[in-house]
């Protein structure tokens, strides 16, 4: 019978802790050193053969009332996988029998001498007290680990942060393994190559191709699997979401609370890496198919369940799951990451823009500043204006980068809205006609005006040198034949730029 299979949920007590207990006066007199021995419970028995009454992992206490054959007695105790034997001297035996000590040495069973003044009840009480203290420490450790993991999940780069927190808590390595057995992200001290290979093998057990048990047997794959290689405890946990992702752990030891801590990490990572959050995937797929087959935006938008949309552009974050984590934080699964690292999120609804200004002063209930990210937010628009909203979000992001703001929202036209749209657009095209063939000049002029003529901030927003900005603005002034230092000219140009 295995002591680990029947161990109670309370943490075991190291035998060294009992030996160090000053009030007990216990002394190891035979058997192996106590450093590697733990006690799961205490049992007192004066039976000649206590084997039928042992569960494994006990500190067996006896005064040797019926002890006649020490060798047979110890062999039966070790067969039952008892942790140690505590022998009480007096009144039956004045000293521990030499034959008993010799048998414990032969069978590898720690033998403790219990002095006459120490009752067996006192020993049992000390074990329960030490267990309660260990349980309290373990609960506190788990609670602190849960809090640390939750805090990590709220960071700008949540997946690596959670893995790093988990690795630190367990004192080993935490790795996110993809369906093909590739390491997508890892944190902590890497195990040996042999242990790493075994961990990848465990990942194949919990997340095999087709989702069936290893070897093609009946039933689903297990949720977790464990092993030990080169003195390292290995565990693999399948993540939810149907992506075939696995959390792999390699730690020096497997502590009682580690499974609970890992379970919290599994839930967080499953949420952070989930591909679909918030919108019906069937409707989204149908909308995409219709757009690809030539349907108009209005028809496709109806399948997504929203009439108005807000575009958010963002810079920041890192790692393969940063974009999806931002989308989850903003409440949308419609996320795209460009090659330059810019993330676009399409939000159904108004995005919380009602009544807000720029600079993140009133981000609204739907779009709030996110740590580690810089956001540009468009106005809420109908589906036919999504391209224009994307441009608005891009310009708002440029302004946020240039000014150092966490969030900037596009502000709609005010005085310029007094003109009829057709007339305003025609006048804008006429005014800006000298620049029409040079989009870079138009965009530089727009950005420069939005930043109140700031050369350095415009250069930062556009990603060019400040001298390039000066040259372009000088060229704009020459082509337009206007004095760009004149505030009236700047205002007229700004209104025109808002209309094209």
Domain boundary among 131, 163, 184: 131
The C-alpha atoms of residue 260 and residue 275 are separated, in whole angstroms, by 25
Strand 246-251 to 232-238 pairing: antiparallel
Neighbours of 436 (CB within 10 A): 12
Helix (H, G, I), strand (E, B) or coil at 26: coil
Beta strands in 71-212 (DSSP E): 84-88, 111-114, 173-177, 183-188
| 146 in any annotated domain | no
For residues 424 and 401, give the distance between their C-alpha atoms in angstroms, rounded to a whole number. Answer: 30
Q: What is the DSSP secondary structure assignment for residue 187, as one 8-state letter?
A: E
Do 181 and 238 have their domain in common? Answer: yes
Q: What are 423-464's pLDDT values in tens digits?
A: 667 777 777 888 888 889 988 998 888 888 889 888 888 888
Sign of torsion over alpha carbons 297, 335, 248, 254: negative
In a shared domain, residues 18 and 111 = yes
CA distance 60 to 41: 9
**DSSP E strand boundaries for 57-206:** 58-62, 84-88, 111-114, 173-177, 183-188
Q: In the prediction, which pLDDT does 265 show?
A: 87
Are residue 197 and residue 214 in the same domain, yes or no? yes
Indicate if 359 and 288 belong to the same structural domain: yes
Residues 189, 76 within the same domain: no
User: Is residue 5 assigned to a domain?
Assistant: no
**Is 102 a residue whose pLDDT tops 90?**
yes
pLDDT value of residue 383: 73
Residue 8 lies in a domain: no
pLDDT digits (tens, 9 = 90+) for 307-333: 678 899 999 877 667 777 787 777 777
> What's the whole-number average pLDDT of the chain?
81
**289/305 same-domain check:** yes
Find the mean pLDDT for residues 236-247: 83
Long-range contacts of 34-41, Cβ-Cβ distance < 8 Å, separation of 24 or more: 34/84, 34/110, 37/83, 37/84, 37/110, 38/12, 38/13, 38/14, 38/83, 39/12, 39/13, 39/14, 39/15, 39/83, 39/84, 39/127, 40/3, 40/7, 40/8, 40/12, 40/13, 40/83, 41/8, 41/127
How crowded is residue 357: how many other Cβ atoms within 10 Å of its Cβ?
A: 11
341-359 confidence digits (pLDDT tens): 888 988 876 554 443 344 4
- The total of other beta-carbon atoms located within 10 Å of residue 8's CB is 11
Those residues with Cβ within 8 angstroms of residue 81's Cβ, 6 or more apart along the chain or in another chain: 1, 2, 3, 54, 56, 57
CA 500/CA 430 separation, integer angstroms: 11
Domain of 374, in residue numbers: 281-412
The number of CA neighbours under 13 Å toward the Cβ of 334 is 21
Which one is predicted more confidently, 369 or 397? 397
Q: Are 66 and 103 part of one and the same domain?
A: yes
Residue in 368, 362, 333 with CA at minimum distance from that of residue 348: 333
Residues 286 and 386 reside in one and the same domain = yes
How high is the pLDDT of residue 299? 67
- Same domain? 352 vs 447: no
Rg (C-alpha) for the chain, rounded Å, is: 35
Of the residues 217, 238, 269, the one at which a domain ends: 269
> How far is residue 248's CA from residue 266's CA, in Å, rounded to a whole number?
10
Q: What pLDDT is attached to residue 224?
A: 84
Q: What is the pLDDT of residue 250?
A: 93
Sheet-wide strand order for 232-238: 183-188, 173-177, 246-251, 232-238, 224-229
Q: Which residue is listed with tokens 């095209």?
A: 429
- Tell which of 211, 235, 269 closes a domain: 269
The predicted pLDDT at position 398 comes to: 86
Q: Are residues 31 and 98 in the same domain?
A: yes
Q: How far is CA 158 from the centre of its chain?
A: 5
Q: Is residue 147 assigned to a domain?
A: no
Q: Report the number of distinct structural domains present in the chain.
A: 4
Whole-number pLDDT of residue 357: 40
Q: Report residue 291's pLDDT band, with 50, 70 and 90 as the boundaries.
A: low
Residue 252 lies in a domain: yes
In a domain, 298, yes or no: yes
Report residue 305's pLDDT band, with 50, 70 and 90 as the boundaries: low
> Which positions ≥6 away from 12 have C-beta within 8 Å?
38, 39, 40, 57, 131, 134
Q: What is the pLDDT of residues 188-220, one digit of tens each?
A: 998 899 999 999 888 888 876 555 444 444 556
Q: Do 109 and 232 share a domain, yes or no?
A: no
Q: Is the same domain home to 25 and 112?
A: yes
pLDDT given for residue 297 in this prediction = 64
pLDDT higher than 70, residue 282: no
Look up the CATH number of the domain holding residue 51: 3.40.1390.20
In this prediction, residue 409 carries a pLDDT of 85
Is 150 inside any structural domain? no
Q: What is the CATH number of the domain that holds 451?
A: 1.10.10.2840
pLDDT at res. 332: 75
Residue 475 lies in a domain: yes
Share of the chain above pLDDT 70, in %: 81
For residue 197, the domain's CATH number is 3.30.450.30
The pLDDT of residue 256 is above 80: no
């Amino acid at each position: 019978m295995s002591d680990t299979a029947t161990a109670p949920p309370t943490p075991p007590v190291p035998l060294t802790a009992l030996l160090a207990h000053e009030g007990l006066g216990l002394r190891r007199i035979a058997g192996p050193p106590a450093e590697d021995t733990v006690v799961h419970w205490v049992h007192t028995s004066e039976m000649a053969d206590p084997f039928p009454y042992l569960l494994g992992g006990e500190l067996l206490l006896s005064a040797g009332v019926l002890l006649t054959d020490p060798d047979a007695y110890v062999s039966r105790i070790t067969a039952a996988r008892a942790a140690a034997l505590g022998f009480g001297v007096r009144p039956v035996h004045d000293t521990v029998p030499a034959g008993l000590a010799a048998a414990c040495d032969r069978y590898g069973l720690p033998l403790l001498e219990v002095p006459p003044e120490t009752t067996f009840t006192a020993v049992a009480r000390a074990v329960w007290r030490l267990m309660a203290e260990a349980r309290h420490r373990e609960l506190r450790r788990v609670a602190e680990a849960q809090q640390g993991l939750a805090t990590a999940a709220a960071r700008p780069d949540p997946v690596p942060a959670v893995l790093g927190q988990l690795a630190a808590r367990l004192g080993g390595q935490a790795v996110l393994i993809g369906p093909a057995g590739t390491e997508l992200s890892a944190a902590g001290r890497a195990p040996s190559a042999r242990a790493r290979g075994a961990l990848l093998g465990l990942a194949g057990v919990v997340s095999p191709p087709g989702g069936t048990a290893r070897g093609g047997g009946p039933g689903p794959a297990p949720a977790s699997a464990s092993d030990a290689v080169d003195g390292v405890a290995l565990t693999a946990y399948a993540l939810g979401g149907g992506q075939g992702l696995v959390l792999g752990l390699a730690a020096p030891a497997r502590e009682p609370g580690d499974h609970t801590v890992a379970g919290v990490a599994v839930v967080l990572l499953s949420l952070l890496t989930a591909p679909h959050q918030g919108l019906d995937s069937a409707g989204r797929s149908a909308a995409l198919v219709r757009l690809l087959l030539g349907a108009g935006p209005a028809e496709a938008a109806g399948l997504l369940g929203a009439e108005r949309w807000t575009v958010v552009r963002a810079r920041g974050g890192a790692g393969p799951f940063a974009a999806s984590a931002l989308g989850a934080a903003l409440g949308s699964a419609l996320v795209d990451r460009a090659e330059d690292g810019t993330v676009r999120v399409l939000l159904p609804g108004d995005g919380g823009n009602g009544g807000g200004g720029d600079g993140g002063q009133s981000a609204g209930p739907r779009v709030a500043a996110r740590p580690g990210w810089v956001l540009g937010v468009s106005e809420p628009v109908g589906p036919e204006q999504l391209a224009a909203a994307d441009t608005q979000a891009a310009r708002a992001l440029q302004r946020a980068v240039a000014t150092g703001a966490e969030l900037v929202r596009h502000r709609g036209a005010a005085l310029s809205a007094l003109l009829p749209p057709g007339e305003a657009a025609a006048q804008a095209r006429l005014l800006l006609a000298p620049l029409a063939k040079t989009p870079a000049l138009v965009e530089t002029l727009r950005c420069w005006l939005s930043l109140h003529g700031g050369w350095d901030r415009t250069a930062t927003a556009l990603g060019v040198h400040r001298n390039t900005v000066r040259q372009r603005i000088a060229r704009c002034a020459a082509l337009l034949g206007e004095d760009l230092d004149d505030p009236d000219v700047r205002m007229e140009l700004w209104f025109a730029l808002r209309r094209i």
